[in-house]
C-alpha cells in the first residue's frame, strides 16, 4: 500500500473510537493504509473525528509537515469541520478518489518578551492567542499597540488576537466581526474592557499586534494559544502576534462559498431572502 491516511479520534468519546474503526476498515477496502499515530512515514491526509477541539489537536501534529486535515463533526457546532458524521461514507469515498481541494489557513506566531530576564517565549495559533488574567477575580491592565505604535490602554478580562479562521470562535463571542477565511487580516478584540475606545480592530496581514501587561496591573497574564497551549506573561511582559510562516492546511470536500457554511453552522434565519436579479 502506497497511500496512508491518519485517523484522529476524540480520546474520551466511545462513539468516536467506534467510528474510527469503521473508517479504518473502509480505507483498507480501498487499498489505503489507515494510521492511528503520527510516524515518520509519508501521510497523505488526516481524517479527524470529533469537534473543533479535536481538529485543533490534530493541527498541532500535522502543521509542521503540511498534512491536510479533513474534519468530521461529532461535536456541537464544529465550525472547522468539513462534514457531519452521518456523511462519513461520502468522506471516505472522496478521500479515496482524491476528490478534495486543499485550502491554507493563516496562523499566528506569538512571542512573549519577559521583562526581568529578557527571555522570549514563542507559540502559535490557528484560531486565536488570548491574553488573559491569572487572577480570576481581578482585571488585567494592558496597553495595546499596532505596528510599534501605542493605541490605547485599559483594564479588561482579556484581549483576543485572532486570525480570520478564529473570527467565528472566541473573537466572535467577544463582539468581533466575522471575517471570511480568504481575507488576509489580523483581529484584535478586547473582552469586557473598562474604557471608551475598546472597539474590535481589523488590520492588514503584515501588521504586528502587541499587548503589554502594565506594571500597575493587579494580575499577571497568560497567553492561551487556541485554548490548548499556555505561555506565561508576568507584569511588564511585551506580547506580539504576527502572521505565521506556516499555515494549517484543510482539505475541502464541499468547496462552496463560506456564506453557506456560516448559515448552516450558526443556523441563521434567512426567511424572506429572495436573492438578487439573475444575470442573463
CA-CA distance, 79 to 236, in Å (whole number)?
36
Residues facing 99 on adjacent strands: none
52 is catalytic: yes
CB atoms within 10 A of CB 272: 5
Active-site residue, selected from the candidate residues 21, 39, 52, 97: 52
Q: Which long-range contacts (CB under 8 A, 24 or more apart) does 164-167 make?
A: 164/105, 164/106, 165/80, 165/105, 165/106, 165/126, 165/127, 166/125, 166/126, 166/127, 166/128
Give the three cell numbers for residue 30.
480501498
Q: Is the dihedral of CA 125, 149, 198, 262 positive or negative?
A: negative
Helix, strand, or coil here: 15? helix
114, 130, 141, 236 from 218: Cα distances, Å: 17, 18, 7, 12
> What residues are annotated to the active site?
52
Amino acid at each position: 500500500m502506497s497511500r496512508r491516511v491518519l485517523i484522529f479520534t476524540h480520546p474520551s468519546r466511545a462513539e468516536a473510537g467506534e467510528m474510527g474503526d469503521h473508517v479504518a476498515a473502509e480505507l483498507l477496502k480501498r487499498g489505503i493504509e489507515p494510521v492511528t499515530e503520527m510516524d515518520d512515514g509519508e501521510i497523505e491526509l488526516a481524517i479527524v473525528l470529533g469537534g473543533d477541539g479535536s481538529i485543533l489537536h490534530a493541527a498541532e501534529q500535522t502543521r509542521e509537515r503540511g498534512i491536510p486535515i479533513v474534519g468530521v463533526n461529532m461535536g456541537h457546532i464544529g465550525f472547522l469541520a468539513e462534514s457531519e458524521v452521518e456523511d462519513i461514507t461520502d468522506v471516505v469515498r472522496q478521500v479515496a478518489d482524491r476528490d478534495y481541494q486543499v485550502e491554507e489557513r493563516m496562523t499566528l506566531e506569538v512571542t512573549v518578551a519577559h521583562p526581568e530576564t529578557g527571555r522570549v517565549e514563542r507559540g502559535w495559533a490557528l484560531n486565536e492567542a488570548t491574553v488573559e488574567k491569572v487572577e480570576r477575580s481581578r482585571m488585567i491592565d494592558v496597553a495595546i499597540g499596532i505596528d510599534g505604535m501605542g493605541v490605547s490602554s485599559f483594564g479588561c478580562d482579556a484581549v483576543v488576537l485572532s486570525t480570520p479562521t478564529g473570527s467565528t470562535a472566541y473573537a466572535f463571542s467577544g463582539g468581533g466581526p466575522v471575517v471570511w477565511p480568504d481575507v488576509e487580516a489580523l483581529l484584535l478584540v478586547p473582552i469586557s474592557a473598562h474604557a471608551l475606545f475598546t472597539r474590535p480592530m481589523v488590520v492588514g496581514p503584515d501588521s504586528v499586534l502587541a499587548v503589554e501587561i502594565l506594571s500597575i496591573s493587579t494580575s499577571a497574564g497568560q497567553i492561551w494559544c487556541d485554548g490548548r497551549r499556555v505561555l506565561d506573561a508576568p507584569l511588564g511582559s511585551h506580547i506580539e502576534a504576527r502572521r505565521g510562516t506556516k499555515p494549517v492546511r484543510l482539505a475541502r470536500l464541499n468547496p462552496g462559498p463560506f456564506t453557506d457554511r456560516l448559515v448552516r453552522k450558526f443556523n441563521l434565519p434567512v426567511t424572506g431572502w429572495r436573492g438578487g436579479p439573475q444575470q442573463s
